[in-house]
Structure 1
Amino acid sequence: MVDKSEKFRWFVRLGYFSRAVFYILIGFLALTAGSADTGPEGVFRTVQDFPAGTALLWIVAIGLLSYALFRMCSPLFDIEHEGSDRKGIAVRIGHAGSAIGHLVLAYSAVRLATGNGSGGGDTAQQAAAGVLSVQFGSFVLGLLGVAFIATGLFQAKKAYSGEFMHRISASAPDATRWLGGAGFAARAVVFVVIGWSLIHSAWISSSAQVMSLGSAISSLHDEGILFTLVAAGLILFGLFSLVLARYRIVPDLGAGGTVPTFRL
């Protein structure tokens, strides 16, 4: 009989697998389609076009939800012992942001799998317009932009330092450090672009012209080699996520079988 910790590890590994599928496809679509539909809906439609695509889309959606719940355990339970000092709190808040982002992706995948996809429209701009319409909305949107830029800088730091290797088994392939570094660097660029679009929209132009993940990538299309490097980097981040699906050190559930604790 599979114990609860083993089930938990399988859900986390499914989450990393789904993240891998998402980033490999979004980078591939960017390289092959240029400024065409490179956003999450484009990725999920591509998955749905595969043989047994709807079933695979459900697996990806469940995986993204699993990854989101795993990340939410960090701010709630500090499962990876980040601590409660200023740096630890910042990391755990970042994990909460990652959880929310992947919940949104899972929701988008489920909507398409059930035939309720939006079929168009820029949801990022619609959301921004809603925030700008309320009191202090521009202030909140601007702060969100600052958070995205800070996250981008943190991603760049991880790419340079290789600190992400501390949570990976020593038996992982030798290329893991290189794959992760390239992937985090590409994500850093995308997050900074999204953050700047939020700040510009909230505090400079007072419009709702903000960027989603897909539009942030597409906005680099005229930048030549930078666009190619970012798109290729996202594919490498997907491959890095595949490595994590196998070699990531996953916390065990505690004695009560509910709260995970990290295995140091």
Structure 2
Amino acid sequence: MADLSWTIPVMRAGYAGRGLTYLSIAGLSLWAIWRGGEAQGTGSALETLSDSGWGIAVLWLIALGLFAYAVWRGIDAIEDLEEYGDDAKGMISRAGMIVTGLIHGAIAALAISLALGGGGGSGGEGGVSNLVGDVLDWPGGAIIVTVGGLITIAAGIYYLIKGWKAKYREKLRANHFTSNYDWALRFGVMAQGVIIVVIGGFLTVAGFRGSSQEAGGMGKAFDWLASQPFGNFLVIVLCLGLLGFAFFCFVNAVYRVIPKVAGDDLTTLAAKMKAKAA
């Protein structure tokens, strides 16, 4: 078997970049709400960063990190580094990794464009609606969008279950830090699940109604929550959850275990918790 130890620093850089992205979105959103504004989606948050010198530096860090994450997900899927297997369930999981990698690669491209002084283009808040509009023009486009929305909802439910059952522990190294902050990791993963379910709901409605205006990303999810009873409170709670997910990404950047590369002497958080409960 080829030496794939080089994937470890790529993976760590990728999760760090992902964490920095969510930290920026949640942090800028909370700051905007504090000043009487509205929460910001991915495109809006990145555009805000492009307005200052330090923000440009953050954009470059995000771009490099997310590019590394895209590479990591591609290699992970091809080489099955996390041992999902070759059965139907495993292949679906590995295909999901590639899709996730492509999405984060697109965000990296947006960050580079903004850092170089370009506009948001199709990667801004209207990017999802524009893409859905293009797909709706295809033969059977409405069905494709609807199915894509249902798959997205399923992915969000997977995150919710992953957080509730703490399945992420199987990929984290056991130590004092991961044990003590397990509650924050769980909260962050479940908050990410909520966002994905809401976005999937938008896609499903867009496909069912044949209207790209119904689709949207994180910015639309914030707007929808804000329109509900106690909406501002819900948005703040979700932003805190996204800070938790950023924390989850940073913890993965340091302590994530890659089964096919890690040594046999490592103890996962799941194994430690199981032994403690026995």
* TM-score tier after normalising by the smaller chain length: 0.7 to 0.9
Name the structure 2 match of 1:27.
Answer: 26
Match of 1:216 among 221, 235, 244: 221
Which is further off, 149-158 or 87-96?
A: 87-96
Deviation at 1:142, TM superposition (A): 0.7
CA distance in 1, matches of 2:196, 2:148: 11
Task: Count residues with an aligned counterpart.
Answer: 251
Deviation at 1:211, TM superposition (A): 1.2
Unpaired segments of 5 or more residues in structure 2?
265-278
Q: Does 1:226 align with 2:225?
A: no
Asked if structure 2 preserves the Cα contact closer than 8 Å seen for 1:152 and 1:187, the reply is yes
Asked if structure 2 preserves the Cα contact closer than 8 Å seen for 1:83 and 1:89, the reply is yes
Match of 1:127 among 127, 131, 134: 131
User: With CA pairs under 8 Å and 6+ residues apart, which has the higher RCO, 1 or 2?
Assistant: 1
Asked if structure 2 preserves the Cα contact closer than 8 Å seen for 1:30 and 1:218, the reply is no
Asked if structure 1 preserves the Cα contact closer than 8 Å seen for 2:162 and 2:189, the reply is yes
Deviation at 1:147, TM superposition (A): 0.9
Match of 2:119 among 104, 117, 122: 117
| Closer/same/farther in 2, CA of residues 90 and 179 from structure 1, 3 Å limit | farther
Name the structure 2 match of 1:170.
Answer: 174
CA distance in 1, matches of 2:97, 2:11: 14
Match of 1:63 among 62, 65, 69: 65
Q: Secondary structure at the match of 2:179?
A: coil
Name the structure 2 match of 1:254.
Answer: none
Q: State the identity as a percent.
A: 29
Q: Which amino acid aligns with 1:8?
A: T
Asked if structure 2 preserves the Cα contact closer than 8 Å seen for 1:15 and 1:67, the reply is yes
Deviation at 1:162, TM superposition (A): 0.7
Output one character per residue of 1:67-94: Cα deviation in whole Å (capped at 9) or x when no partner.
1111122332211111122332232222
Q: Secondary structure at the match of 2:102?
A: helix
Which is further off, 137-146 or 236-245?
A: 236-245
Name the structure 2 match of 1:72.
Answer: 74
Match of 2:251 among 234, 243, 249: 243
CA distance in 1, matches of 2:52, 2:254: 24
Match of 2:109 among 107, 110, 113: 107
CA distance in 2, matches of 1:176, 1:48: 33
Output one character per residue of 1:18-69: Cα deviation in whole Å (capped at 9) or x when no partner.
1111111212233332473612223223444554432332221011011111
CA distance in 1, matches of 2:88, 2:57: 43
Which is further off, 52-61 or 79-88?
A: 52-61
Q: Which amino acid aligns with 2:221?
A: A
Deviation at 1:6, TM superposition (A): 5.8
**TM-score (normalised: structure 2):** 0.82
Match of 2:96 among 71, 94, 97: 94
Q: Does 1:179 align with 2:179?
A: no
Unpaired segments of 5 or more residues in structure 1?
252-260
Q: Which amino acid aligns with 1:14?
A: A
Q: Does 1:18 align with 2:23?
A: no
Q: Which amino acid aligns with 1:96?
A: I
RMSD of aligned C-alpha atoms? 2.2
